[in-house]
Chain A
Amino acid sequence: MNTIRDAGAALRSNKTTSVALTRQCLDRINRLQPSLNAFITVVSEAALAQAARLDAELAAGADRGPLHGIPIALKDVFETKGIRTTCGSRLFYDHVPRRDAAVAERLEAAGCVLLGKTGMHELAYGVTSTNPHFGAIRNPWNHGHVPGGSSGGSGAAVAASMAFMAMGTDTGGSIRIPAAFCGTVGLKPTYGRVSRYGVLPLDFSLDHMGPLTRSVHDAAFVLQALAGEDPRDHTSSHQPAGRYSPPAGAKLNGMRIGIPENFYFDRVEPGIVSAVRQTASEAERLGAKLVSVQVPDIAGLNAIGRIILFAEATAAMEPFLHRRDEIGPDVLSLLDQGRYILAADYVQAQRLRRVFQIEYNKVFDSADVLLTPTTPNLAPRIGETTVLLDGLPEDARLASTRFVRGINILGLPALTLPCGIVNGLPASAQFIGKAFDEATLLRIGAAVEDATDCADLNPPGL
């Protein structure tokens, strides 16, 4: 029983309790933490006490909804009142917040049980989660490989069933990359859909919050709990939340799935191409129409994204830049690079961002969603800085972010789901949707998931 949907059904038919589910997760954490290092903090006693309260509520007939009694984890970048929140950094090693992030508040109100805080790439600024202060997080599919990042602990925890869901943040792919490398579902909602309040910022205009889960249906449950305006985050959208839960076993008649002819299938691991094309065929079999589309200059979009990322991250971290010896070398180098960006170039990048938003939105005239690989590469080995694609070496960080970074710049929603195993590691497909149309992404993803066994991937030996 790995999914929220199954656990919820078992809770409501009195086949299990929240305390039992919580104990099950804590047992797995105790067993697997030494090898995976997925957590920075575990709050066992508080979790069991919360689970007992939620069991009593349910027994008394008070049901908070699909997340009632479900054990979950938060990336250690979400502030949690009274629980240390390190951001994977020595700079925040002893930071115990006095407030909860909006995401933590809403998940608690929805009935979740917080198991603890997951490990991450230092300051959420990287894609390996090989953390110099808290140790390398390991991929449950192969402990010699990275889980991806920056939400690597969340990916590892969900893939290894240490939690039914873990929250991540995504500035340039940091939900979708660990979801891809660990074989889980990952959802990056539209910018402004989920409040950023109480999350230590990396990049003000690029940071997104979203869940990593074992199924698309579960991701929909979580988004339903999180979506909505928050006056404490001035970038939170006024647009009302949708109804996200997709029907089971749905058909896709009338849906148009755009398959990009350019960029997204260039220099990709062949096994990933095959798995994504198989996903497209499955969607077609369910009634969707596949249409070829041309996308704008994504390499150019990624370049302006890096200019924005460098400038904003360095601005966000400026108060700490004098503490150089407390920052790991890879993150420090990125923060130094932000100091080269001139104000005029940052503004030009933001102006080009608008041009790209308008151009990319035109693609949706002919397609409801786009389907692409999530990453061109499988999870690299720990310490591997280049990957080989089409016989050519490519920087592992740039390769891993090649298909995901641009979507943060556009602010569009994207859903990733596992679509196969290649050389013993998960391959992943990415659906990209129109702004605030998460419901369509989730409907298509759930239909594909229900028709295949992609939600049943379990790492070997787990």
Chain B
Amino acid sequence: MKDWKQIAAAQGLVLPQAQIESHVALMSQLEDTLNHLKTKLAVDTEPATVFQPAPWSDGDAR
């Protein structure tokens, strides 16, 4: 698990404690989901950035 409070501090976020706690709760939840989903990734899976053709576009090179 990442230390979200340290990340907030490193980013220079000076916020009320309650707001930091709410951010930490959300980020921890997203981190859990991401960690679970990452197990699906094949080593050669490319990011779906907008700079590449999307999987459906069949050669619609941008």
Binding site for B on A (CB under 8 A): 191, 204-205, 234-235, 237-239, 297, 299-300, 303-304, 306-307, 333, 336-337, 339-340, 342, 345, 347-355, 357-358, 361, 411, 434-436
Contacts and interface: CB of A to CB of B under 8 A. Distances in A.
Interface of B: 2, 4, 7-8, 11, 13, 15, 19, 23, 26-27, 29-31, 33-34, 36-38, 40-41, 45-51, 54-57, 60-62
A348 B37 CA distance: 9
A237 B56 contact: no
B18 to A, nearest CB: 11
B-side interface mostly: loop
Given A340-B11, A435-B57, A350 B37 contact: no
Contacts of A340: 4, 7-8, 11, 23, 27
Contacts of B50: 191, 204-205, 234-235
A235 B37 contact: no
Nearest to A354: B48
Contacts of B15: 336
Given A336-B23, A350-B48, A234 B55 contact: no
Contacts of B19: 333, 336
19 contacts: A191-B54, A234-B51, A234-B62, A239-B57, A297-B37, A300-B37, A304-B37, A337-B23, A340-B7, A342-B7, A345-B31, A348-B41, A351-B47, A352-B41, A353-B47, A354-B47, A354-B48, A357-B55, A411-B54
Given A238-B61, A238-B62, A340-B4, 12 more contacts: A235-B62, A237-B60, A303-B34, A304-B33, A307-B30, A333-B23, A339-B13, A340-B27, A348-B38, A351-B41, A355-B41, A411-B54
Most chain A beta-carbon neighbours within 10 Å: one of B30, B46, B51: B30
B13 A238 contact: no
A361 B30 CA distance: 24
Nearest to A359: B40
Contacts of A299: 33
